[in-house]
Chains A and B, each alone.
Chain A
């Protein structure tokens, strides 16, 4: 038998940390499995009404049959497309408007109270109005998605621009630059990490807005399926759609996080 080598304090520390990480991960997986098992068993034994609460096996079954019928994939694709379109429009308009505010402090002073009010307004209250104004089509859903994220991102981008070190801005002027140069050489490049972390939050908000829009005025998409399912008492379908939304939201967040990590690693 090989004699056990005595570990250095550093190795001991690392070993302990690894063990802690492993335990946390195991506990997470366990929690998920326990929840699913409890759900399945209570439905099978009749502790809960599986017609209302469904069960993991029914959810998987519904998922599978709807996937085979292709319709689920179409709905997922539509919701995803609407979310991504509204997300990119939020990026575009968010940055554009924040730059405008930054370029013109007087304009931003005028706009400030309006932005704060619009941002704190519950956007779901606007959705029915949007449908009436813009019609029940994809454009409305995209606008609903944008409405949830846009004001918050303008406000946080603008305050991010203002937090850039004034001495770094002064440097540009001492090198003979104009306001335009401070924007392109300092403000925008130094805000990139901040932009990425703002967008990480916003992509989830866009999804929320899109689903709200689909609740009210759509013939397709996961939000529509949820409303439709609840009206015809197909709660298996409703719960399955909610779980799919969960997964989509997580994947979108992870996608932006990966971009962010990539960027931070390069710089």
Chain B
């Protein structure tokens, strides 16, 4: 089957007056429909750069990106992108924050509004429809931000360390929560994280990047012998430790 997303020989350098910073060299990977892939790597290696390329905010210097076999620039597919901080705007209500993307794409229709309302109901935000974002807890804010992304019906959701601004305890709960929502909605996702255990608990496959200029050091499919896979349950699974050590080793090979 044709993969949903394909990166072929992607290279990119940043140019500034101080000089050239090679960020990515020869990145190749693909993601299948419905797959959840995590991208781990040392800090500053170019993980956000990869997401910016896939979302079309940046153009690669070399190589090409295909969505459903078509070049990214020709593709009409919506790609969702969740940033590190939720950026819910305080001058809007929670509901109108959720509609922001639709508003920008001139897609606010009755059905879409109803869909947004239904998602708020499903994910426990209905009582906060007309509240200001500051009235939500950290986890609820992240959920609202995810709904804002999902109402655009993206074929692919990019997540750039979406939990790193949260404290540890909230972080476990929220990543569990967001992981479940994404699986339930059947979305394809690419998650960037620093946190190895987060990557293992959420993803079907982990890509390990080298330090800058990044290329792919290793690719690890994760399989768990459990029925209903949730991030929390993965953390307690026997396979967890093995995977953790494998990824740890791969990451530290870069160091020397």
B124-151 to A contact mask, C-beta < 8 Å, 1/0: 0000000010000000000000001000
Chain B interface extent, by class: 20 to 34
Given known pairs A186-B89, A189-B91, the reply for A170 and B105 (CB within 8 Å) is: no
Contacting pair A173 B78 (CB below 8 A): no
Number of A-B contacts (CB under 8 A): 44
Inter-chain contact B83/A181, CB cutoff 8 Å? no
Q: Is B100 an interface residue (CB 8 A)?
A: yes
Residues of B within 8 A of A243 (CB): none
Q: Is the CB of B83 within 8 A of A174?
A: yes
B183 to chain A, nearest CB (A): 22
A174 is contacted by which of B57, B84, B90, B132 (Cβ under 8 Å)?
Answer: B57
- Say if the beta carbon of A175 comes within 8 Å of chain B: yes
Q: Within 8 Å CB of B148, what residues of A?
A: 175
Known: A189-B89, A192-B91, A267-B90. A171 touches B104 (CB 8 A): no
B87 touches A177 (CB 8 A): no
* Nearest A residue to B81, CB-CB: A174
Q: Is B152 in contact with chain A by the CB < 8 A criterion?
A: yes
Whether the pair A175, B104 counts as a contact (CB closer than 8 A) is yes
Tell me whether chain A's interface is mostly helix, strand or loop, or mixed: helix
Alpha-carbon gap, A186 to B105, bound state (A): 15
Q: Does B55 contact A (CB under 8 A)?
A: yes
In the complex, A168 has a CB within 8 A of chain B = yes
Would you call A176 an interface residue if the criterion is a C-beta within 8 Å of the partner chain's C-beta atoms? yes
Chain A interface category by residue count = 10 to 19
- Given A172-B104, A185-B104: A190 in contact with B85 (beta carbons within 8 A): no
The answer to the question of B101 belonging to the interface, with a C-beta cut-off of 8 Å to chain A, is yes
**Would you list which residues of chain B between 97 and 112 have a CB under 8 Å from chain A?**
100-101, 103-105
Residue A11 interfacial (CB < 8 Å): no
Which residues in window 136-184 of A have CB below 8 A to B? 165, 167-168, 170-177, 181
**Are A167 and B104 neighbours in the complex by a CB distance under 8 Å?**
no
Considering the chains assembled together, what is the distance between the CA atoms of A174 and B78 in angstroms? 10
Q: Which residue of chain A lies nearest to B105 when distances are taken between CB atoms in the complex?
A: A176
Give the shortest distance, in Å, between B34 (CB) and chain A (any CB).
Answer: 22
Q: Check A168 against B87 for contact (C-beta < 8 Å).
A: yes
Residue of B nearest to A192 (CB): B91
Q: How far is the CA of A181 from the CA of B81 in the complex (A)?
A: 17
Q: Chain B residues with Cβ under 8 A from A168's Cβ?
A: 87, 89
* Cα of A35 to Cα of B13 in the assembled complex, Å: 70
Q: List A contacts of B87 (CB < 8 A).
A: 165, 167-168, 171
Check A167 against B85 for contact (C-beta < 8 Å). yes
Chain B window 210-241, contacts with chain A (Cβ cutoff 8 Å), 1 for yes, 0 for no? 00000000000000000000000000000000
Contacts of B104 in A (CB 8 A): 172, 175-177, 181, 185
7 CB < 8 A contacts A-B: A165-B87, A167-B83, A170-B57, A175-B101, A176-B104, A185-B103, A267-B91
A-B pairs, 10 with minimum CB distance: A174-B81, A175-B101, A177-B104, A171-B87, A189-B91, A181-B104, A168-B87, A176-B105, A175-B104, A267-B91
Mark B residues whose CB is within 8 Å of A: 55, 57, 78, 80-81, 83-85, 87, 89-91, 100-101, 103-105, 132, 148, 152
